[in-house]
Chains A and B, each alone.
Chain A
Amino acid sequence: MTRIYVPRDSAARSVGADEVAQAIEIAAAERGVDVEIVRTGSRAMLWLETLVEVATPAGRVGYGPVAPEDVADLFVAGFLEGGDHPLRQGLIDELPWLAAQSRITFARVGIVDPLSTEDYEAHGGIAGLRRALTMSPAEICDEVTESGLRGRGGAGFPTGVKWRTVLDAASSTKYVVCNADEGDSGTFADRMLMEGDPFMLIEGMLLAGIAVGAREGFIYIRSEYPDAVVTMRAAIARAYEVGWLGPRVLGGERQFDLTVRVGAGAYICGEETAMLESIEGRRGMVRAKPPLPAIEGLFGQPTAINNVLSLVSATVVLARGAAFYRELGVGRSRGTQLFQLAGNVACGGIVETAFGLTVGEMLETFAQGTRSGRPVHAVQIGGPLGAYLPASQFDLPLDYEAFVEAGAMIGHGGIVVFDDTVDMAAQARFAMEFCAVESCGKCTPCRIGSVRGVEVIDKIVAGEDRAANIALLEDLCDLMTDGSLCAMGGLTPMPVRSVLRHFPEALHNAKDSQA
């Protein structure tokens, strides 16, 4: 019996992984060969999807990108024994693209059966929880603080400090909420983690629950991720069966219950207070802060709200110790970050690495140019609210502080690459248009400012009173930045300003400039 691994990740399925798995099954049956097909997460080397791996005595040998029509040929080439074929990539663990990374949160993704608790434990899972159960809540918070872990959702707030605030809040009812509303274009690490290693998020939720004294948690997943919803729900059901969740966590005295809630197509619900409103059954309207959710959050109770990647990183901190985690990274950016290479890239996927690589190194070493083969003209980092950077900025190191200083942000680690066919004026306009569509409407600078922003950019592009309209756009950006209630309106000017600043040919000196 040969074991074959085919991803069940939705990105892999989007380019035919299901059809490939089916073709292998049929071909094996026709040849009377005994194979076991294990559906795993994806290794997140997405240009190789569908990446089929075969277990051999030397290790897992990969073939990709495999299309259903390649399968017969692979059998002829003896791929079940790791035989040679043009699609053979070699031993997966030795591929330089993977070997150059520090996969500590994505350690199991693409390797294990995502819904096997046995696989999870056999690959180091649940160790953090076991250790946490021997510690006091305050000790857990301290350990996480000491690790230097900062929120991976975008804001970069120290996770341990947040947990400590919730722990110290006086209330008999507290909640943990996982923000899995990963709405930024160019980001998909939360999705791949939930589809590829859902127990890690469950363990992270349990840790947070124990640390802050909460007995109930919610994972808020966007509706655009149906496979992640199905996988998380199935994993939660399994976790109840084996006693990881429920009235007696791991047979001890703690109780923890976990529920998945599904969003409904509103980007703003990734803002933490809008998300709370949504879970409570209301329009996703941003709340004014204070009170902080840590003091008065879900249903008015103290609530720890963390991103998927923060929670799973905490399991690593607890399992391997704060010192291990802290040793990775630079300055105040500790541990690893999950960068996501997206858009027009030759090699797209997830690069988990300690902070500190420059943008240029990331593009050269990992993205390896554009899919179109044309030169890179701009990268947008940090989602729709992040800055567009030109080649002259590619020496920026990928850490929180360096980016803030440069008027940019790392956000959730999405890096979207554009080639030289991009129309930067259109990208600036889209930033305003997106804000107009997705604004919750509560505050005027965001709701009205974004609409005016689209109009004024249209006038600039049309060559209408250009200098005056650019001054107006700058003024509007000031107003949105200073006057908006949350990051939606407050950061929409970031991509717009980055175009004004770094790509003067787009708006200032466009070809049709006024006579």
Chain B
Amino acid sequence: MTLHEMPTAMTPWSKEVATELVRDHAAEPGPLLPVLHALHEAFGYIDPEAIELVAQELNISRADVYGVVTFYADFRRTPPGRVRIQVCRGEACQAVGGRGLVEHATRSLGLELGTTAPDGSVSLEEVFCLGNCALGPSVTVSGHLRGRVEPADFDRLVSDAVASGGGER
């Protein structure tokens, strides 16, 4: 039982679904970020086709959309792994072994930060502060925040998540 579990199975890219999502938010003031968040949540990434679509629907240039998508660290442009892991690199986590945990994560998964395993199982990302600074080092596994994560805990969290097939919140 988790409190606000919002399991959203990733939908494969669909122009029709995307168009509807864009239109849901188009009337909001400054709609671009809400639109991109909605697409990202549904598909797990911003498909190249989405850039053209969003530009048309919101009547802004493709360059404007592309510029925003590439500015913000949250918006990935390729599909994520089934399990998405973020490791905190903030100073408060560094003070309790965060640097070592980042090293362990890259080594044990064989992935650089910001990359996805070739088999699509796991994505590893860096994040600068999860607001859990008294209980570091912190990671998120498929959207779930975990604190005081030692390397052994990390391995267990990852293998449990991979075994259960991901389950983005």
Contacts and interface: CB of A to CB of B under 8 A. Distances in A.
A452 interface: no
Looking at chain B's contact residues, is the secondary structure mostly helix, strand, loop, or mixed?
loop
Contact of A343 (B29, B72, B92): B92
23 contacts: A13-B2, A21-B1, A22-B1, A47-B134, A183-B129, A185-B93, A188-B131, A188-B132, A224-B130, A225-B131, A227-B4, A227-B145, A263-B74, A266-B73, A283-B68, A340-B134, A342-B92, A342-B95, A343-B94, A414-B133, A430-B94, A437-B128, A438-B128
B132 A11 contact: yes
Interface string B117-148: 00000000001111111111010000101111
B134 A264 contact: no
B142 to A, nearest CB: 12
Nearest to B64: A282
B147 A186 contact: no
Contact of B74 (A230, A265, A344, A349): A265
Interface string B2-19: 111010000000000000
B91 A416 contact: yes
A349 B3 CA distance: 22
B133 A416 contact: yes
Contact of B90 (A18, A25, A186, A259): A186
Contact of B68 (A279, A282, A344, A434): A282
User: Which interface residue of A279, A281, A349, A416 has the most chain B CB atoms within 10 A?
Assistant: A281
A446 to B, nearest CB: 15
Contacts of A224: 127, 129-131
Interface of B: 1-4, 6, 28-34, 36-37, 64, 67-68, 71-75, 90-96, 99, 127-136, 138, 143, 145-148, 169
Contacts of B133: 185-188, 340, 342-343, 348, 414, 416
Given A187-B131, A227-B145, A283-B72, 15 more contacts: A10-B145, A14-B135, A14-B146, A15-B135, A18-B2, A39-B3, A186-B133, A225-B131, A261-B34, A264-B37, A264-B75, A282-B32, A283-B68, A341-B134, A384-B91
Contact of B95 (A14, A279, A344): A344
Contacts of B33: 261-262, 264, 278-279, 281
A434 B135 contact: no
Contacts of B72: 263-266, 283-284
The 5 A-B pairs with the shortest beta carbon distances in the complex, nearest first, are A348-B134, A185-B90, A281-B32, A343-B95, A265-B73
Contacts of A185: 90-93, 128-129, 133
A29 interface: no
A422 interface: yes
Nearest to B136: A343
User: Which interface residue of B64, B96, B134 has the most chain A CB atoms within 10 A?
Assistant: B134
A191 B145 CA distance: 14
A182 interface: yes
A282 B29 CA distance: 12
B98 to A, nearest CB: 9
A422 B94 CA distance: 9
B58 to A, nearest CB: 8
A182 B128 CA distance: 11
Interface in A409-444: 414, 416-419, 422, 426-427, 430, 434, 437-438
B5 to A, nearest CB: 9
Contacts of B64: 282
Nearest to B35: A281
A34 interface: no
A414 B31 CA distance: 33
A15 B92 contact: no
A407 B3 CA distance: 44
A182 B2 contact: no
A14 B139 CA distance: 9
A18 B147 CA distance: 13
A265 B88 CA distance: 13
A49 interface: yes
A13 B145 contact: yes
Contacts of A124: none
Contacts of A281: 30-33, 68
Given A281-B31, A281-B68, A283-B67, A186 B96 contact: no
Interface in A268-299: 278-284, 299
B166 to A, nearest CB: 17
B31 to A, nearest CB: 6
A427 B99 CA distance: 11
A363 to B, nearest CB: 13
Nearest to B36: A264
Nearest to B70: A283
A263 B127 CA distance: 14
A299 B30 contact: yes
Contact of B134 (A278, A283, A284, A342): A342
B154 to A, nearest CB: 13
A200 B80 CA distance: 37
Given A226-B143, A264-B33, A10 B132 contact: yes
Interface string A358-379: 0000000000000110000000
A426 B102 CA distance: 15
